Chains A and B, each alone.
Chain A
Amino acid sequence: MTPCRYRASSYNMGTEAYVPRPDDFFPVRFRSSAVKECIHAIMKENLANVQYNPEETPELTQSLSETIKDRLKVEGFHRYKMVVQVVIGEQRGEGVNMAARCFWDADTDNYAQDVFMNDSLFCVVAAFGCFYY
């Protein structure tokens, strides 16, 4: 398999007050389904007719992760720190297994992931939302 590129972007609101749970002040909880839809839409938009090219992939992953991060910010998860991980690999028939494990507060934090595949590449996007208390 071609080495995967990823880029993580973080986002910090830097607010001082503690908000122990998202419901108290900010009803916008990191809902996996909504985020997934968002991710899916972006991936579909950006990767629909893209062929795998090892030269361009790093930039693509970067731009994709930035796009998703920005979109998620617009979505309004204000108290969340976002980590968007984008992995693009070439589809060549090899088996791929990818997993993630998090050390977090399961009550507030969540993640969403989606996979996009076409003939030449697969793209895995995982967006982790860490609640900023």
Chain B
Amino acid sequence: MEPEKKRTKEDTWKSDELKKHLRVSQSDSQSEDKKQKEKKLQRDRKTHDMVDYKGYIHKDQDKDRGKAEERTSERERFKSSERDRDKLRDRESGKDHHREREREKLKEKDQEIEGEGPEKEKHITRKDKEKVSDKEGDRKYRRDDLKQMLIENNLKASGGRDKEQRRRRESKDQLEQANIRDDVKERRHTERKVKEGKKSESKNSLGEFLTKKDEEGGHRHKSHRDQELNKDRGRSHIDKREHSVRGGKERPSKERSHGLFVKDGEEKYVSRRRKEGSSIEDRERQLSKNNEKRQREENERKKRDLKNSEHKKQGKSLREEEETSLQHERNARDKGKSIEREKKEDTSQRPHQGEHVSAWKPMQRQKREEEPEIGDNYLTNYEDDFEDYEDDFDDDDNEDNDNEARDSEERLREIPVSKKSEIEEIQRAINAENERIGTLLPKQIKKKSEKEPNMERQDSSARGSLCGMFMDFETANQRQSSQIMATKQKKRSSELLRLIDLDFSVSFSLLDLPPVNEYDMYIRNFGKTNTKQAYVQSNEDNLERDVQTDEIETLEKWTQHPGDSVLVSGGPRSSNGVSTDIVVTPKIDSQRLTNFLRSACQVIAVLLEEDRVATQPRWNLRSRQTSLSISDSCFQLNTNLPFLHGRKVSCLHISQVQRQALLSVHGLPEKPGAIQLDRKYIVCVWNVWQPSSPQKVLVCEAEVSCCCFSPSKATLVFAGTMDGSLVVWDLREDSRMHHCVKLNGTDWIFRSPTFSTDGILSSLNHTYPVLAIEPVSTSVYKEQNYGLSHLSSQEEMSGLSFQIASMDENGTLNLWVAVELQKVDLAGSQSDLGLIPGGKVKLVHSSTVQLNSSLFPKDILCLRKPQTLNIKFLPSNPNHFIVGTDIGVVSHGARHDLRVPPKLFKPQQGGPRSIRANAVDFSPFGKPIFLVGCSDGSIRLHQMTSEHPLIQWNDSTNGQPVIALQWALTRPAVFFALDASSTVYIWDLLENDLCPVAKQIIQSDKVMTMVVLGEPEKTNGLLGIALAKQSGIIDIQYVKKRWALPQSEESEKLQLLLEQSL
């Protein structure tokens, strides 16, 4: 129960209430009179209210009475559970006591009725007195009440306090129900008590004050009170009291015996006192503010009261018993403590009764000093127990008050009416004071409850000083010291502020926490909540990336071209390898190797053949078969080839530079064979040292009338056709560009022309059959060194810096420039239409000379237009050329239209006549002389400076037309002639300048043409003639040494001879 009570206490002192209370108390202290007036007004108002209230209660009380009897039985049960054993023990006696008390009260009331005379004021005062006495009983009830209350409803503590008060009142009413007469009075009395209940505490203390006053005049009153008490109480109680008085010194032991009980009671008092303090205030407030509320609560309260009343009765009896038992000790203590009590009252009264307080203050201190001695054990730890003691005092006060009240009642009874007015006045004054104190007391109590007695003292002292009546030196000292401190501080700060600068710092950012966005919050809280993450696979992230192109693999390699050694290529094997890995074995291209071997074989074969020729072992062997009288040896070029069957050789040509290279032109076969080439003309390139097969086989659509090699190197073959076109073959071309035919187990490559003027350049082209084609060297050096300089000049001529002269039978001389293209277009050229795809050489027209108009004089031309048959360029000066005609004369021309004498080279006799100059040939030894062979069989030897011939042989061939005529290459004075009857003549001018030295008739076959071959550079004296026969056989006859080998000073002899002939 204790803690519950304490809690109620705490609840009671809620902070706001406290504040209000403080405010009120302070304001009260200042405006006390005002408050008093207000309170009086309130009181008056309440008396009006009470009239209604009384009636109300009256009805209820009838009901209550009926119920009260029922509850007595209940009470018994309750008691057993709630009360201590001691209480149970004491109950019986308590009941008796209760009965006694009731009796006593009845008496009192009777007296009151008597006393309640005409004056209302008196009545009131009497009532007050009565109330004082009632209060004693009330207190007891209240205590029980509280117990019950706390059990039933702790929560309603603060609200219930008021009710409690009323309950108390009503319970008292119930107690007094028996006295119906007094009902009305009693009720009024209770209502008064509602007002004055708050003052009860102060009244008590005031009562004490009064008693104290009485004490001043001797302890008469007290003794009287004791007597009264003794009288009122039963004998047993007196004994007890005596016992307790006796045992004042042995109190500790006694207390031990009562231990639990006493403590219980004390604590109850404590709580009650506090409650009273607060309740007084509460009551004051509530009463002033809401009387209506009170009425509302009345119903509840009554119900509760009915219940409580039993307990109260019971409690009261118990309580009384308790008190009586305790009374003894307390009374014993009272003597010492009453002083303290007075002191306490002084403190509370001090504000109002300044003189009083100041007078009392020393006393108070003195008493404080005394207390430890008096209080013995109790006061050893005064501060802690202060409260408790106070409670005790209060309790005692109450007891005393009760006693006092009773005394006063009794006094009232005894005191005559005349004195009553006096007493009433005193009481009125007391009441007024009580009211004032009542407002202050709670504050003190509160402060005590907060265990700040010092503060209280200071407060009160401060207040005292405010009033100017009380000097508190302690405070003054404090103030002074604080003032000193303040001045010190001030001084210090002023001194310091001179030394230092204070400034505002920049504001420091202590925390900058950015708001978390929604998603982060979700993620952060996800794990904490009762959730589970579900995954959905949408396959969106399953991206695939693919590259179709393969990684480019790179490797660094090097090559050397042309390869100096076997190491022609190499490079690091891997990308990061530093060491170079040299590829030693190059790849083998079998095709290329084959080609290489083939050409190499040819070269070797040629070399071997050359060696054989040089050593002549087989030469003789071969020549023996077809030996002629004029020749040492002879051999045939192998024309017994499938594609050459039945083809007549129409023309032969030998390169001027490479003497072994021979061209043979084959005409169409007489009877067409199965071979595709039947409609085509064939030109064969031979190496005379390798007669077994032609080096190259060239094919042409048109009939080839004449052909020649390129002047410097036998790499190009030019041919004029009967169509008037020129064709060029580049012998260096790859064989794969051309048609390959396999004939009798051998691959033959038939080369088509690289370039042909057929169909293009129509305005410039020949319109007549081309009869002669000659290479023209542009270099002039040949003049200085003939013959021997050929080799040296070869390389210079390799740049194709030469022209080709072509002459048709109409006398048109065209000069062409052979151009070698730098770029090869395998797809065929758009602009050069005559060029074979992949071809590199083409002919560009340079100039055209109409020989007929320029070369021939008008007298000749007037007869008929002469036909040009052949043309030869002067080897020493290519600008000069001679043209053989069909009128027996040879005209002399120059390329740049230079008129050079003699214009014509005429026969010795007669003018122009129809004699064809079939052959003209310059001497290869640089002399400006040439031979002319005519169709009438005459042979003329001309020199360039003379119009007429040096020598003319007319009947050397017996009138047979000379077909071919050519100087020997090794001897300047020897030449060969062929007539139409297939007779070969050998002339040696040094030996015989009138007729040929030898004559050989070739019976077997008709010789179509003849060409001289030989190597003037060599001294082995090989001089041969190639005879192309009608059957297609090409015979090569090496003439006998006596005509072939050059003789000493032959040129000079010839020169001499020529001079003689002039």
Point out residues on A near B: beta carbons under 8 Å: 18, 20, 87, 93-108, 111, 113, 115, 119, 122, 124, 126, 133
Contacts and interface: CB of A to CB of B under 8 A. Distances in A.
Contact of A124 (B502, B504, B511, B524): B511
Nearest to A16: B492
A97 B508 CA distance: 11
B381 to A, nearest CB: 31
A95 B514 contact: yes
A99 B508 CA distance: 5
B487 to A, nearest CB: 14
Given A18-B496, A133-B496, A97 B503 contact: no
A98 B505 contact: no
Contacts of A97: 509, 511-513
Of B503, B505, B509, B516, most A-chain CB atoms within 10 Å: B505
Given A97-B509, A100-B510, A133-B499, 15 more contacts: A18-B495, A20-B500, A94-B513, A96-B512, A96-B513, A98-B510, A101-B506, A101-B507, A103-B504, A106-B505, A107-B501, A122-B511, A124-B510, A126-B510, A133-B500
Interface in B892-920: none
B247 to A, nearest CB: 51
Contacts of A119: 524
Contact of B503 (A96, A99, A104, A124): A104
A105 B500 contact: yes
B515 interface: yes
Given A93-B515, A94-B515, A95-B515, A103 B502 contact: yes
Given A18-B496, A93-B516, A93-B521, A101 B511 contact: no
A122 to B, nearest CB: 6
Given A18-B495, A20-B500, A133-B500, A104 B505 contact: yes
Nearest to B512: A97
A106 to B, nearest CB: 6
A20 B510 contact: no
A108 B501 CA distance: 10
A57 B675 CA distance: 121
A20 B500 CA distance: 8
Contacts of B514: 95
Interface string B982-1006: 0000000000000000000000000
A55 B510 CA distance: 25
A99 B510 contact: yes
Given A93-B521, A94-B515, A104 B502 contact: yes
A103 B503 contact: yes
Contact of B507 (A18, A20, A96, A100): A100
A20 B521 CA distance: 51
Contact of A101 (B508, B512, B513): B508
A100 B508 contact: yes
B512 A105 contact: no
A106 B524 CA distance: 41
Contact of A113 (B507, B510, B515, B524): B510
B491 to A, nearest CB: 11
B511 A96 contact: yes
A105 B506 CA distance: 12
A40 B303 CA distance: 65
Nearest to B499: A20
Interface of B: 495-496, 499-516, 520-521, 524
A50 to B, nearest CB: 16
B588 to A, nearest CB: 80
B509 A99 contact: yes
A88 B507 CA distance: 20
Nearest to B518: A93
* A-B pairs with lowest CB-CB distance, top 8: A95-B515, A93-B516, A98-B511, A96-B513, A101-B507, A98-B510, A102-B505, A124-B511
Contacts of B524: 93, 119
A100 B508 CA distance: 5
A82 B789 CA distance: 121
A102 B501 CA distance: 13
Of B500, B511, B512, B521, most A-chain CB atoms within 10 Å: B511
A97 B501 CA distance: 29
A122 B513 contact: yes
Nearest to B517: A93
Contact of A106 (B499, B503, B515, B516): B503
B512 A111 contact: no
A81 to B, nearest CB: 13
Nearest to B527: A119
Contacts of A87: 511
Nearest to B522: A93
B503 A105 contact: yes
Contacts of B512: 96-98
A47 to B, nearest CB: 15
Contacts of B520: 93
Nearest to B528: A119
A102 to B, nearest CB: 4
A95 B516 CA distance: 7
Contacts of B508: 99-102, 111, 113, 126
27 contacts: A93-B524, A94-B515, A94-B516, A95-B515, A97-B513, A98-B511, A100-B510, A101-B504, A101-B506, A101-B508, A102-B505, A103-B502, A103-B503, A103-B505, A104-B502, A104-B503, A104-B505, A105-B500, A105-B501, A108-B500, A111-B508, A113-B508, A113-B510, A115-B510, A124-B510, A124-B511, A133-B496
A101 B506 CA distance: 6
A115 B499 contact: no
B286 to A, nearest CB: 35
Nearest to B506: A101
Contacts of B506: 101
B140 to A, nearest CB: 44
A98 B509 contact: yes
Nearest to A115: B511
B378 to A, nearest CB: 38
A119 B526 CA distance: 12
A113 B507 CA distance: 13
Nearest to B508: A100
A108 to B, nearest CB: 8
A93 B495 CA distance: 50
B516 A18 contact: no
Contacts of B501: 105, 107
A96 B515 CA distance: 7
Nearest to B521: A93
B800 to A, nearest CB: 94
B499 A18 contact: yes
B506 to A, nearest CB: 8
A104 B504 CA distance: 6
A115 to B, nearest CB: 6
A94 B516 CA distance: 6
Contacts of B513: 94-97, 122
Contacts of B496: 18, 133
A93 B508 CA distance: 22
Contacts of A108: 500
Contacts of A20: 499-500
A121 to B, nearest CB: 11
Nearest to A132: B496
B507 A99 contact: yes
Given A18-B495, A18-B499, A133-B499, A102 B504 contact: yes
Contacts of A107: 500-501
